[in-house]
A and B are shown apart, each in its own frame.
Chain A
C-alpha cells in the first residue's frame, strides 16, 4: 500500500525554466511533508518542508505547495539549474494516536530531474 506516490519517474527541463515535481498521498493523518534531493552515491539531503496547517512555503528558488483537500503537494524550482539534476523524493510524517509524531517518514518512489543547459 503506497501511501505516498510520485507518479512521474522522470522530468526533463531546460535551464532557466520552472521544474514542477508532484506528489500525492492517501493518508489524511500525515501532518508534515518534506522534499529531499539525492545525488548518486550520497544520502538524501533535506530541501524544504511544509506543515499541514500551511499551503505554501518558500525558500529561495524552491517553493512547496500543499493542497490538503486534493492530498497533493508539489515542489517548484525556479529557475532550474543544471546542478539541480538529481532524484527528488517527497516524504510525509504521520501523527500517531495521541497526537505524537515519532518522525517516521514515508517516502515516495522518487522523480529523476534532469536540467539541460
Chain B
C-alpha cells in the first residue's frame, strides 16, 4: 500500500459525459501528479500540482482539467468524453516538487462506451 488513494476504482460512462477522478496523496506529500495509461501509449504524464499550484503540464487535452485543494487532495476532471479516453488514470505523490520517488495510487479504470 503506497498510501495514495484514488476513487473510484472503476468508472463506466458514455461518450459526451463528464467525470471527476479523485486522489488523496500520502500524508505529508505536497506534490500530486496525474498519469494516463492507455493500451497503446504506456504511462503518459498529464499534469502536476504542488501545494495547490499547477507546476508542470504534459500532453493533457483541453477537455481535461485538474486542481489541487487546500487539504492537498486533487481532482482530475474529464469532459466531453470520447471512446479514446478509456484508460487507467494514475495519481502519484511526492514530498517535493522535484521529488525523486513518486508513489502511485492503485488507479481509476475509466471505460467510455
B79 within 8 A of A: no
Decide: B104 and A44 in contact? CB cutoff 8 A.
yes
Closest approach, in angstroms, between the C-beta of B63 and any C-beta of chain A? Answer: 20
A30 within 8 A of B: no
Q: Mark A92-117, 1 if CB is under 8 A from B, else 0.
A: 01000000111111111110000000
B43 within 8 A of A: yes
Tell me which of A34, A43, A102, A108 contacts B97 (CB under 8 A): A102
Decide: B45 and A46 in contact? CB cutoff 8 A.
no
Main secondary structure of the interface of A (DSSP, over half): strand
A12 within 8 A of B: no
Decide: B106 and A103 in contact? CB cutoff 8 A.
no
The residue on A at minimum CB distance from B45 is: A104
Determine the distance from Cα of A43 to Cα of B109 in the docked complex, in whole angstroms: 11
Instruction: Given A44-B90, A103-B33, verify A93-B106 contact (CB < 8 Å).
Output: no
| Residues A23-75 near B (CB distance < 8 A) | 32, 34, 36, 41-46, 49
Decide: B90 and A105 in contact? CB cutoff 8 A.
no
Tell me which of A36, A42, A105, A110 contacts B45 (CB under 8 A): A105
Additional pairs, 10, CB under 8 Å, beyond known A93-B100, A103-B100, A105-B43: A34-B101, A41-B106, A42-B107, A43-B90, A43-B92, A44-B90, A101-B97, A102-B48, A103-B56, A103-B98
